[in-house]
């Protein structure tokens, strides 16, 4: 036999990383080489997508190749094979005789087809998890899978996993569509709860909301996780590229003891926090990993997520960055549950950082203000004082609250300008500072201006919250918007001879402050900055 034990890597029980191959070009050998070079342990040959059984056969006969998962997914389970069961079984048997290593078949097909059970019984080892090379003749391992594309089973992933585990000898693979990050955490908790069974399980929350389940499979004892060669080769929604898994999420360093951190918002796909914090953990040799956690944009969804984290300490979630729109929701949640909130976050009325103490209790902080002040200080010079300076804050949302409170704490005279004047009034009353109508911003006389509106990003990229004529030499202008980096406001400020500070500076400073709250040591600022810079390339 050409490949005596293609699935030999199972003996280590380290969580494997599998790259699905869905294209026939470039040649399979080339794709496999790239997958291995990018960190994959094995590949999944999606025979239903590749649609060239001759090429797959040639590849499987090659004298030296890595273990492969052979998958011929039916259209009914989200694949592309639309032939009859008889054709599918015949092809699986033919390719299975070449001992790819693993054969993936859906539980429903397994249950309904005695023919399939008999044919796969001939080429698969159903006798348990012993290494293939220990057998008298090499066989494949069977992966029994179930895919929930509707999200109907996402509330209770354990039920599906248990159904799959009923089939002795098979590796259970359950994939669910995640509605938000709470579903991804449910999948991980279900894996964790069954860890002691000694059975091999693959459990995945699909979609962008499920990314945490893919990254953290290693921590929670998953048998394997999937990552694609690149985005065009992803075989399921939410699959990350192999390089991203390795470079950003440090796949190989995630262990059972790794602490988990993440960013909670809606959406969070644009966030650079995973790059920045994971690089910080790496530079500080901290055993931790940081993941995106998209949570639907309501108080109820935030409460559901936070309560789930609260009662599942085994998830090891030790700290969370909170972003739009959840900063006020986090504050409300902490208040309602009787958890501590820093004086500054209370004053700001917004929480952008949650930290969990060793006794399991949560504390809320706000590092946005600290970040803005640090960025202003760096520009103004160490000798300059903010005390007595006149500062204008544009906006009255979560960021404006933190920034205005921090400027006031430094002794600055703050005026709030906001499109919706009632919000400006409410914030100025809360903080004890001045407010002016939005139209008055044309005549700003402050020496420091901080844009805390979202004007300049997203749909409003290219727009400025201030008319260019309002800017003068001698002003210092900080735009909290950091994507794009050089906003129209900063361009106008530079043209007027004012000092222009990118939101990047504030972003990095608030992230460094979070790192220090969570890890209790100085943040490796240089590594975090470098990762941020690289995230744009």
Binding mask 412-451 for ligand NAP (x = CB under 6 A): ------xxx--x----------------------------
Indicate the burial class of 158 (C-beta count within 10 angstroms; 0-12, 13-18, 19 or more): middle
Across the beta sheet with 288-294, the strand order is: 288-294, 259-265, 317-322, 353-356, 362-365, 340-341
Q: Which of 299, 447, 454, 535 binds ligand NAP (CB under 6 A)?
A: 454
Q: Kindly report the backbone phi and psi dihedral angles of residue 320, in degrees, each rounded to the nearest multiple of 5, phi listed first.
A: -135, 135
Q: Which listed range, 231-239, 313-321, 336-344, 506-514, lies at the site for ligand NAP (CB under 6 A)?
A: 506-514
Q: Is 507 in the site for ligand NAP (CB under 6 A)?
A: yes
Q: Is 452 in the site for ligand NAP (CB under 6 A)?
A: yes
**459-476: b or e for each residue (b if 16 or more CB lie within 10 Å)?**
eeeeebbbeeebbeeebb
**Coil, helix or strand at residue 51:** coil
Nearer to ligand NAP by C-beta: 459 or 473? 459
Nearer to ligand NAP by C-beta: 365 or 368? 368
Q: Which of 106, 183, 310, 368 binds ligand NAP (CB under 6 A)?
A: 368
Q: How far apart are CA 295 and CA 305, in angstroms?
A: 7
Q: How far is the CB of 172 from ligand NAP (least distance, A)?
A: 41
What DSSP element (H or E) covers 263? strand 259-265
**282-311 positions binding ligand NAP, by CB under 6 A:** none
Closest CA relative to residue 309, chosen from 300, 299, 319: 319
Q: Is 396 in the site for ligand NAP (CB under 6 A)?
A: yes
Q: Is 453 in the site for ligand NAP (CB under 6 A)?
A: yes
Q: Which of 67, 274, 397, 524 binds ligand NAP (CB under 6 A)?
A: 397
Nearer to ligand NAP by C-beta: 357 or 378? 378
Contacts with 323 (C-beta within 8 Å, 6 or more apart), sequence order: 263, 264, 265, 268, 271, 273, 352
Q: Which listed range, 149-157, 215-223, 334-342, 457-465, lies at the site for ligand NAP (CB under 6 A)?
A: 457-465
Closest CA relative to residue 14, chosen from 241, 236, 200: 200
Nearer to ligand NAP by C-beta: 33 or 420? 420
Q: Kindly report the backbone phi and psi dihedral angles of residue 298, in degrees, each rounded to the nearest multiple of 5, phi listed first.
A: -130, 160
Tokens representing 328 are: 């006020």
Active site residue 327: yes
Active-site amino acid positions: 327
Q: Footprint of ligand NAP on this chain (CB under 6 A)?
A: 324, 327, 368, 371, 395-400, 418-420, 423, 452-455, 457, 460, 465, 480-482, 503, 506-507, 510
């Amino acid at each position: 036999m050409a490949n005596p034990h293609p699935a030999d890597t199972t003996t280590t029980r380290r969580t494997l990383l599998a790259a699905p191959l869905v294209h026939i070009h470039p040649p399979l050998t080339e794709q496999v080489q790239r997958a291995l070079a990018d960190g994959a342990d094995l590949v999944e040959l999606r025979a239903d997508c590749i649609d060239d059984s001759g090429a797959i056969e040639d590849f499987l006969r090659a004298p030296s190749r890595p273990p492969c998962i052979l998958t011929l997914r039916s259209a009914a389970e989200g694949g592309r094979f639309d032939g009859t069961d008889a054709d599918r079984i015949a092809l699986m048997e033919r390719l299975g005789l070449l001992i790819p290593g693993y054969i993936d078949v859906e539980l429903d097909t397994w249950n309904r087809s005695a023919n399939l059970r008999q044919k796969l019984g001939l080429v698969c080892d159903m006798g348990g998890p012993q290494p293939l090379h220990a057998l008298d003749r090499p066989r494949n391992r069977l992966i029994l899978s179930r895919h929930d594309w509707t999200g109907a089973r996402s509330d209770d992933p354990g039920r599906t996993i248990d159904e799959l585990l009923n089939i002795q000898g098979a590796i259970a693979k359950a994939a669910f569509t995640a509605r938000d990050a709470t579903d991804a955490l449910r999948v991980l908790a279900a894996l964790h709860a069954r860890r002691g069974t000694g059975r091999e399980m693959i459990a995945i929350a699909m979609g962008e909301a499920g990314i945490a389940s893919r990254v953290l499979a290693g921590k929670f004892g998953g048998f394997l996780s999937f990552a694609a060669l690149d985005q065009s080769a992803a075989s399921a929604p939410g699959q990350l590229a192999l390089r991203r898994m390795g470079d950003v999420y440090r796949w190989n360093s995630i262990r059972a003891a790794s602490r988990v951190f993440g960013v909670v918002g809606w959406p969070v796909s644009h966030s650079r926090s995973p790059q920045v914090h994971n690089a910080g953990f790496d530079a500080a040799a901290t055993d931790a990993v940081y993941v995106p956690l998209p949570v639907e944009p309501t108080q109820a969804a935030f409460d559901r997520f936070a309560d789930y984290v609260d009662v599942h300490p085994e998830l090891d979630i030790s700290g969370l960055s909170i972003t739009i729109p959840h900063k006020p929701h986090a504050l409300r949640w902490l208040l309602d549950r009787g958890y501590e909130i820093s004086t500054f976050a209370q004053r700001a009325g917004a929480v952008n950082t949650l930290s969990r103490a060793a006794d399991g209790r949560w504390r809320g902080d706000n590092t946005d203000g600290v970040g803005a002040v640090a960025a202003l200080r760096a520009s103004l010079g160490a000798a300059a004082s903010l005390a007595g300076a006149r500062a204008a804050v544009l906006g009255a949302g979560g960021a404006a609250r933190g920034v205005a409170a921090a400027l006031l704490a430094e002794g600055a005279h703050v005026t709030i300008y906001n499109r919706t004047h009632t919000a400006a009034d409410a914030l100025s009353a809360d903080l004890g500072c001045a407010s002016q109508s939005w139209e008055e911003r044309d005549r700003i006389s402050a020496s420091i201006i901080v844009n805390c509106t979202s004007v300049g990003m997203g749909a409003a990229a290219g727009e400025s919250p201030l008319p260019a004529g309002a800017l003068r030499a001698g002003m210092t202008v900080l735009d909290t918007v950091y994507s794009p980096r050089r906003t129209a406001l900063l361009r106008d400020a530079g043209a007027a001879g004012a000092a222009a500070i990118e939101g990047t500076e504030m972003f990095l400073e608030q992230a460094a402050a979070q790192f220090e709250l969570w890890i209790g040591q100085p943040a490796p600022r240089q590594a975090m900055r470098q990762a941020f810079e690289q995230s744009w390339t």
